[in-house]
Amino acid sequence: MTKESRVSICFFAPAGIFMLVFLFFPVALLVRDSFFEIDMIAQGRGTFVGLSNYIEAIRSERFIGATTNTLIYVVVAVCFELILGLFFALLLNTAFKGHGIVRTIMLAPLMIAPLVTGLIWRFMLNNQFGIVNKLLYDYNITSSRHAIQWLSDERFALLSTIIADIWLTTPFMMLVLLAGLQGISKTLYESADIDGANKIQTFLYVTLPSLFPVMIVAVLIRTVDAARTFDIVWVLTQGGPSNSSEVLSTYMYKTLTRYGLVGESSAMAVIFIILLLVISSYFLIAMFKANKK
Amino acid sequence: MSKPNAGVSNENTLGRLFKKNKTIIGLITTVLALLFISPYIYIVLTSIKPSSDAISPSPTFFPRELSLENYVAMFNQMPIAKYFFNSFITASISTILAVFLGALAAYGLSRFSSKTGNIFLLLTLCVRMVPMISIAIPMYIIINGMGLIDTRVALIITYTAINVPFAIWLMIGFFNNIPKEFDEAARIDGCNIFTAFIKVILPVSLPGLATAAIFCFMLAWNDFLFALLLTSTNAKTATVGISEFLTAYNLDLGPMTAAAVSFSLPVMVFSILVQRYIVSGMTLGAVKE
C-alpha cells in the first residue's frame, strides 16, 4: 500500500465508519429483517420465514393500491412540474426588466418544508374554511361552497396531495431548466438562423434537444423525490379516506408503527428500493445515450 | 457586475419569439409568479388575523384587522419554543458533524485516490435513491435497541448519516477545482497533510462548505418522518409539534398558521439571502459548468 492511499484512508475513515454503522448497516439490517418475522415488543431476533413477507406484500391489495397511487402521484406531479417549470424557465429566460426579482420570488418556496406545504394546502383546501372552495364558488365554477370535499372525498384526496407537491417543487424544476437554457451555446441559434429555421422550428430542433440531458436529470431527481413523498400526504390525508391517497411511504409507516409488522414493512421497503433503482437506471441509460449523441 | 449581460445574451427561445413584447412578458411573468407564491402569502396574512377570522366560513385574502392572537395561542397551547429549540440543536449539530466528516472524506478521495472517489460517487448516488422510509424502518429498530428513542442524539445520528454522503459528493466537486499547488505550497511552508488541509484548503473552500452546510441544515430542519418516528415528548421537533395542531386541537387552524409561519419565514428570508449557494447546490450534477 502506498503512502498516498494510506493518507487517503485516514481522511476517509471517520466518515466511512460513520456511514458503515448508521447507513449501510441499517440497509443490510433492512434486507435481513425482510426475511424474518419479528415481534416488536419481544425484541427477539425473530424467526426466519423465507420469502413469505414478500409474497404477503405482493399479494396484499393495499400494497398494490399504494404502489398504484405512488405511480399516479409521481407521473402526474412530475409531468406538471416539468411543463410548468419549463414554462416559467422560458419566460424568465427572456431577460425582461426585473427578471432577477421575479426569479427570486419564484425561488422563495424552494426551501419550504414539505410539512409546511402540506399545512398550507390543508388550510386552503379545508371543506369549511378553505379559500379554494370559496374562490371556485365566487367565480361560479362550482354551485356550492362545499361542492368539492378536497380532502375527504376519495376522488379528490390523491389529487389534492399532488397539487401540493406540484406547488412545492415546480421552482426546483424551473431553476434547473433555467440553468440548462442559459447553458445552450449561442452559436447553435445562430446557425439555426442561417439555415432559415423559424422560431418554432428553432425551439423544437435546437432548444429542446439541447435541454434534453438537463431535463432527464431534473426528472430523475424529482421522480425519486416524489416517489419517497411522506410529509405532504401524511399531513393532508394520512392516506385516507379509505386508502384512496395511500402511497408506499405512508403505508409502510403504518405497517411499522400501527401494526408493528417489522418483517413485512422491511420487505416492502426492499421492493421499493429495487423499484426505484430500476426506474432510475432506466433514466441513467437514457441520459448516457443522450450524451453520446 | 461580473456578468452584466448574463440574461440578455441568452435571449434565445421565447425571447426570439416575442422580442418586441418583452415588457408584456415581464408583466405576465410577474403576475404569474405572484399568483404562484400567493398560497404562502395567504398563510402569512392569515397568521396575523384574529383567530376567529382565520377560521371564518367566508375567508378573505387580506386581513380585515391585524392581531397577534394566533401567535399568543401558539405559545399557550404547547411548549412550541422547546420544539423549536430541539429542531435547532439537532439540525445544527448534525450539520457540523456531516460537513466536517464529509469535507475530510472528500478531501481524501479528491487528492489521493480518484478511482475510489469515482466508485464512491456512484455509491452515494445510489444512497440518494434509497427512500427515507426504507432507512427509517431499520433506524427505528437500531435506535430502539440502543435505548435512544426520544433523544436528540438519535436525531443527530440519523441526520448526520443521511447528510454525510451528500456532503462528500458536493465537496469532492469543490476540492477537485482547487489546484494541487495549494497543498504543495503549504507543505513547503512546513505544514503536514492535516494542517495543510485545515489551514489552507478549508478556508479556500468556504463557499463549498457553506453550500453543503445550508443543504444539510435544511434537510434536518425540515425533516418530519424521522422526528415523528423516533421522538415522542422530550426530543420532539418543531415539525412534529406543528403537525399536532391538526390532530390535538382540530379547529385551531389559526395557531397552526402562526406556527407554520414562525417555522418557515426565517428560513425563507435566509434562503433568499444565500440564494447563490442554494442555486449552485441544486443545479450541481444536472448542469455541467
Beta carbons of B151 and B235 less than 8 angstroms apart: yes
Residue, of B153 and B127, whose pLDDT is higher: B153
Question: Measured between CB atoms, which of B30, B102, B253 is closest to A102?
Answer: B30
Q: Which residues of B touch A5 (CB under 8 A)?
A: 112-113
Low-confidence ranges of chain A (pLDDT < 50): none
Q: Which residue has the cell 398560497?
A: B39
Residue A288 confidence (pLDDT): 77
Task: Inform me whether the pLDDT recorded for B8 exceeds 60.
Answer: no
Please list every residue in chain B whose beta carbon sits closer than 8 Å to the beta carbon of residue A114.
222, 224
B15-42 pLDDT tens trace: 555 556 778 888 888 999 999 999 999 9
Whether B202 has a pLDDT exceeding 90, the answer reads no
- CB contacts, 8 Å: A23 with chain B: 127, 135, 161-162, 164-165
Q: How confident is the model at residue B1 (pLDDT cuts 50, 70, 90)?
A: very low
Determine the pLDDT at residue B250: 57
Which residues of A fall within a CB distance of 8 Å from B102? 15
Q: Is the pLDDT of residue B263 over 70?
A: yes
Residues of chain A numbered 100-139 and touching chain B (CB < 8 Å): 100, 102, 104-116, 119-124, 126, 128-131, 134
From the list A111, A113, A266, the residue facing B278 with the nearest CB is: A111
**Facing B137 at nearest CB: one of A14, A25, A265:** A265
pLDDT at residue A260, rounded to an integer:
82
The pLDDT of residue B83: 94
- The full 3-state SS of chain A, as one line of letters, equals CCHHHHHHHHHHHHHHHHHHHHHHHHHHHHHHHCCEECECCCCCCCEECCCHHHHHHHHCHHHHHHHHHHHHHHHHHHHHHHHHHHHHHHHHCCCCCCHHHHHHHHHHHHHCCHHHHHHHHHHHCCCCCCHHHHHHHHCCCCCCCCCCCCCCCCCCHHHHHHHHHHHHHHHHHHHHHHHHHHCCCHHHHHHHHHCCCCHHHHHHHHHHHHHHHHHHHHHHHHHHHHHCCCHHHHHHCCCCCCCCCCCHHHHHHHHHHCCCEHHHHHHHHHHHHHHHHHHHHHHHHHHHHHHHC
B112, B141, B272: residue with CB nearest A29: B141
Is there a contact between A95 and B239 if contact means CB atoms under 8 Å apart? no
More confident residue, B122 or B23: B23
CB contact under 8 A, B55 and A182: no
> Taking CA atoms, what residue in B is nearest to A43?
B145
Q: Is A282 on the interface with B (CB under 8 A)?
A: no
Interface A-B: count of C-beta contacts within 8 A: 325
Q: Is A180 within 8 Å of chain B by CB? A: yes
Mean of the pLDDT values across residues B262-276?
87
End-to-end CA separation in angstroms for chain A:
40
CA distance A82 to chain B (A): 14
Question: Which ipTM was obtained for this model?
Answer: 0.87
**B56 to chain A: closest CA residue:** A129
**Separation between Cα atoms, residue A194 and residue A197, nearest integer Å:** 8
Tell me, yes or no, if A187 comes closer than 8 A to chain B by beta carbon.
no
Taking CA–CA distances from A224, the nearest residue in chain B reads B129
This prediction has a pTM of: 0.88
pLDDT surpasses 90 at B156: yes
State the cell numbers at B84.
423549536
Average pLDDT along chain B? 83
